[in-house]
């Protein structure tokens, strides 16, 4: 009988919009334009699938200033990610997350986080716990 080896990783984060949440993680190794890259009616990101209720880990937001409105609209339809963890924060992303009450954090350990996501989590569904109160993201 084969027992799957399970790991637990911890990454330090800096909370921008606080909140503690748990959920499946989705990793997108690029900057996202919420206008254009996203089907806001279904909460589906082009080429990456559903982002609803997931801990969304990505480089940051780019492009249109309409981004905050899209995030707000997603959250009203209960289609928004449950949290966002980014390499770079920018005013528009913060605006969208505060308006929609979505926890948002950034990390100085992006290299570590992205290698976990591209290594351990690349072949299995991982669950993330964002604990803004402790400045920690736990991935299992």
**Residue 99 engages other proteins in binding (rule: CB under 8 A):** yes
Distance CA 84, CA 108 (A): 15
Residue-wise burial string across 3-21, b where 16 or more C-beta atoms lie within 10 A, e elsewhere: eeeeeebebebebbbebeb
Which of 2-10, 46-54, 93-101, 117-125 is the region at the interface with other proteins (rule: CB under 8 A)? 93-101
Shortest distance, position 90 Cβ to other proteins, whole Å: 8
**Residue 11 engages other proteins in binding (rule: CB under 8 A):** no
Q: Are 107 and 12 in contact (CB under 8 A)?
A: yes
Cβ partners under 8 Å of residue 117, min gap 6: 25, 27, 29, 57, 126, 139
**Residue 44 engages other proteins in binding (rule: CB under 8 A):** no
**Residue 86 engages other proteins in binding (rule: CB under 8 A):** no
Which of 64, 75, 100, 115 is catalytic? The answer is 64
Known catalytic membership, residue 123? no
* Residues near other proteins, by CB under 8 A: 16-17, 40, 65-70, 72-73, 76, 89, 91-92, 94-95, 98-99
């Amino acid at each position: 009988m084969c027992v799957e080896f399970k790991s637990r990783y911890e990454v330090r984060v800096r909370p921008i919009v606080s909140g503690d949440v748990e959920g499946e993680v989705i990793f997108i190794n690029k900057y996202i334009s919420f206008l254009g890259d996203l089907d806001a009616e279904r909460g589906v990101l082009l080429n990456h699938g559903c982002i609803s209720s997931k801990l969304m880990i990505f480089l940051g937001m780019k492009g249109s200033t309409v981004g905050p409105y899209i995030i707000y609209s997603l959250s009203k339809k209960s289609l928004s990610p449950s949290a966002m963890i980014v390499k770079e924060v920018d005013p528009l992303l913060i605006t969208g997350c505060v308006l929609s009450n979505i926890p948002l954090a950034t990390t100085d350990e992006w290299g570590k986080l992205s290698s976990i996501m591209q290594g351990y989590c690349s072949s299995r569904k991982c669950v993330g716990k964002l604990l803004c109160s402790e400045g920690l993201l736990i991935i299992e």
